[in-house]
Amino acid sequence: MEARNEYRKGLWTEEEDRILMEYIRVHGKGKWNRIAKMAGLKRCGKSCRLRWINYLSPSVKRGDFSEEEEDLIIRLHNLIGNRWSLIAGRVPGRTDNQVKNHWNTHLSKKLGIKKENAKGNASLPSLSRKLGKNTSVPMESNSEPPSDCSCETGGKTMVEDGSQSTFKFASTQEITENNNFGSSLWFSNDDLNLLTPYLMEPLDGYSLDFVLDGL
């Protein structure tokens, strides 16, 4: 039970950050609701967890996204849709919130994707459900991609070809110039297609297995 107004909201102060970090340094993370109570923070557990994961954790990388990171995000998004935590799990040092924000504010614009009502977003609806919700990989465990992966730009990206079950490969630039792919289905509803080898190619070394590794 949470009493009304028991917890603070809004931006975190330096003092709150200090208290949270000190508590985690001594006791470790997890049991977020307990942290909030025991450390004397007037923040709910959810807020503490989010603050740690998105900002205070030493594994969080700050600063602008590199071209390599952007390219990787674009390709992964093209493959699996708005699975931000899954995408973030493959972009070392970036959190799902960072990736989501960057996509919404920069990449979707860059690619000319109109922001749609997310609930009606057609990107991979059935696959998303199949993957389940709990598909994240903890930040601490994904700091390095597999050795055989490459992040070079200029790779191919898969887009729907117009027919129900065939796809062509397009460069990121082609997609940028193609202002309408955000409004179309990017994948066939037949999820089995995603498991076929040729669909792995667009990631230039990242396979769906790699993306889904650790599920």
Partner DNA sequence: AAGCGATCCAACCGCAAAATT
Partner DNA sequence: AAATTTTGCGGTTGGATCGCT
Strands (E), 26-175: 156-160, 167-171
Maximum pairwise Cα distance, the chain = 58
Secondary structure (3-state) at 159: strand
Minimum Å gap between C-beta 10 and DNA is: 5
Q: Which stretch binds DNA (CB under 7 A): 84-92, 154-162, 175-183, 194-202?
A: 84-92
Residue of 157, 213, 150, 214 whose CA lies nearest to 187: 157
Q: Of the two residues 28 and 162, which places its CB atom closer to DNA in the complex? A: 28
Q: Does 142 bind DNA (CB under 7 A)?
A: no
Between 94 and 170, name the residue whose CB sits nearer to DNA: 94
Exposed/middle/buried for residue 135 (C-beta within 10 Å: 0-12, 13-18, 19+):
middle
The three-point CA angle 19-21-26 to 5° equals 95
Q: Tell me the window of 133-141, 142-150, 162-170, 204-212 that interacts with DNA (CB under 7 A).
A: 133-141
List residues binding DNA (CB under 7 A): 8-12, 30-34, 43, 45-47, 49-51, 54-55, 82-86, 96-98, 100-102, 104-106, 109, 117-119, 121, 128, 132-136, 138
